Amino acid sequence: MTIFEKIVRRDIPADIVWEDDDVLAFRDVNPQAPVHVLIVPKRVVSRLAEATPADEALLGKLLLASRAVAEKLDLVTSGYRVVINNGPDAGESVPHLHLHLLGKRPLAWPPG
């Protein structure tokens, strides 16, 4: 069981900022920007590369959740970045698909 599954189950506390039946969003404990929220599906998909056509609706819900979180945290006007890391070379550290929503500071391009 990953740390994200434990957070979804409320076995580990988290600063939850948004939730619906399928998705949970909470503040990252090691933020890389003034706003750094992790958006995770409650149903485990290990990583984007392992998603299947059966996950299509859930993948869409994750992106719509990122918009809802951005609106709630007043990021729409200033802008925000949504990142998905897939695999160790991309910085993936938890094998549970998740989006990073970053904002409230200028973000350089290219990242990393």
Across-strand partners of 99?
39
* Four-residue CA torsion sign, 110, 38, 71, 58: positive
- Determine contact, residues 69/39, Cβ cutoff 8 Å: yes
Q: Tell me which residues are annotated as active site.
A: 98
- Determine contact, residues 10/102, Cβ cutoff 8 Å: no
How far apart CA 21 and CA 42 sit, in angstroms, is 8
